[in-house]
Amino acid sequence: MGEALVSAPWALLVVLVATVALAEVVGRIGAARRLGPAMFVILFGAVLANCGIIPSAANGGPIYDQIFATVIPASIFLVLLEVNLTSLRRAGGTMVASFLVGSLGVMLGVVIAFRLLPMQAMLGPLAAPFAGMYTGTYIGGAANFNAVAIAYDAFGSGTRFTAALVVDNVMTEIWLLFLLLLPLMLARFARFGGAAAMSEPDPGAAPQGDARISSLAVAMPIALAAAAVFVSDAAAAWLAARGLPLPSILILTTLALAIAQLPATGRLRLGQPLGVWGMLLFLACIGASADIAALLAARATGLVLFGFVAVVLLVHLALLLAWGWWRRVDPAVLAMASVTNIGGSTTAFVIAEANRRDDLLLPGILVGALGNALGTYAGFAIAGLLGA
């Protein structure tokens, strides 16, 4: 793909912000309301990137890098300010169990896909490490993918490593879109647990209290989020330097939960909408990561890896659905467990927002953090097993 039509940083930001606004409008029209803005903003981002209008987010850039590094954690912080801690009691145990079942499904799927497809013939000695990389990323996230890749020097594999990254990005986006529909499909089966009633917010409703919005009402949550991101990053770096590695997202989550319990936090009326807007901006970037041209350029390697990931995801889904059928698990909980497996904790918002289930956001983020801790170990275990 050649140079994008819109490549200047500020122009790119304008297009991304406009994409979010368009998705918000479309996601509130008629039957589209059942899908919500999250699905449409991912689709719009993918279309814009693959039509050459904006650059692919997979290649990074000043705007994309800042959104990934700053906007995502700040938005998570703001959304969590309205989380009720009773959500852990209601969904926590079932969420953790569902997440672990999904993780087992990923590991089983990797082993089955490795045996079914010509991974050894296509990748040679890197076949087992690639299997370990996909295990890590679909239990924890990109950090686990990279940890296994570094250990086996997979970065030096050139186009094969690039193909692995592109397949991961494209398949993750397809899976996110599928999971947005999953609760709607499973709702037809009484065997699955009943979902909590979804509220239908009135987009034209005025905010509670004084209808006027002051600059302070906007500045306070933004300033608080910026300070929280700075403190969590600094604390994580300080702890890591002393041999106590702790993901900054866990520190940020802890700060958000502590602040959320303060009575004054209830007056930050714009925290939630600002957080939702930031997460939709992130989802536009997720959509723009699906570089179809790069996937096609990978040819045979890309096709094998595409089939490999497809088998992994199908086995993961089959095991998760069997668990949900047996234990009568709420479809939204199953979707949240799967999205945090495949997409990581930052994608928990996708399911929470689409199903209007704020009670699932915190459990989703926490099991995503658990996946970050377990993913690398699982990746190395699978790579060692298949490479033996």
DSSP track, 221-235: HHHHHHHHHHHHHHH
pLDDT tens string 366-383: 888 888 878 989 999 999
Tokens of 206: 């005025």
Ramachandran quadrant class, 141 (left: phi over 0; alpha: psi -120 to 50; beta: rest): left
Mean pLDDT of the chain: 86
pLDDT tens string 180-216: 999 989 988 888 865 544 444 444 444 444 456 788 8
d(CA 167, CA 173): 10
pLDDT higher than threshold 90 for residue 326:
yes
**Residue pointed to by tokens 């000695």:** 125
Highest mean pLDDT among 27-41, 293-307, 329-343: 329-343
Instruction: List the single range of 43-47, 191-195, 275-279, 339-343 with lowest mean pLDDT.
Output: 191-195
pLDDT higher than threshold 50 for residue 273:
yes
How many CB atoms lie under 10 A from the CB of residue 165?
Answer: 20
d(CA 341, CA 319): 13
d(CA 62, CA 92): 37
pLDDT higher than threshold 90 for residue 175:
yes
The residues spanned by each domain of the chain are 9-192+215-387
d(CA 54, CA 32): 25
Comparing C-alpha atoms, which of 203, 211, 229, 218 is closest to residue 268? 218
Task: Band the pLDDT of 89: cuts 50, 70, 90.
Answer: low
pLDDT tens string 249-270: 778 888 988 888 788 887 888 8
Task: Band the pLDDT of 31: cuts 50, 70, 90.
Answer: confident
pTM reported for the whole predicted model: 0.80
What pLDDT, on a 0 to 100 scale, did the predictor assign at position 356? 83
Instruction: List the single range of 136-140, 229-233, 236-240, 363-367 with lowest mean pLDDT.
Output: 363-367
d(CA 299, CA 182): 31
Q: What percent of the chain has pLDDT over 70?
A: 90
What type of residue sits at position 356?
R
The arithmetic mean of pLDDT across residues 24-39, rounded, is 83
Burial class (CB in 10 A: 0-12, 13-18, 19+), 156: exposed
Are 66 and 299 contacting, i.e. CB atoms less than 8 angstroms apart? no
Comparing C-alpha atoms, which of 42, 80, 84 is closest to residue 276? 80
What pLDDT, on a 0 to 100 scale, did the predictor assign at position 118? 95
d(CA 199, CA 347): 21
What pLDDT, on a 0 to 100 scale, did the predictor assign at position 86? 59
d(CA 340, CA 368): 5
Fold type of domain 9-192+215-387? Na+/H+ antiporter like fold (1.20.1530)
pLDDT tens string 131-162: 999 999 999 888 789 889 888 888 766 678 87
What pLDDT, on a 0 to 100 scale, did the predictor assign at position 362? 84
d(CA 172, CA 54): 20
What pLDDT, on a 0 to 100 scale, did the predictor assign at position 198? 46
Give start and end residues of each alpha helix (H) in 152-247: 159-186, 215-241
What pLDDT, on a 0 to 100 scale, did the predictor assign at position 213? 73
What pLDDT, on a 0 to 100 scale, did the predictor assign at position 365? 86
What pLDDT, on a 0 to 100 scale, did the predictor assign at position 203? 42
What pLDDT, on a 0 to 100 scale, did the predictor assign at position 84? 60
Are 270 and 214 contacting, i.e. CB atoms less than 8 angstroms apart? no
pLDDT tens string 239-251: 999 998 887 877 8
Are 37 and 27 contacting, i.e. CB atoms less than 8 angstroms apart? yes
What type of residue sits at position 249?
I
pLDDT higher than threshold 80 for residue 347:
yes
d(CA 71, CA 33): 25
Instruction: List the single range of 82-91, 105-114, 246-255, 284-293 with lowest mean pLDDT.
Output: 82-91
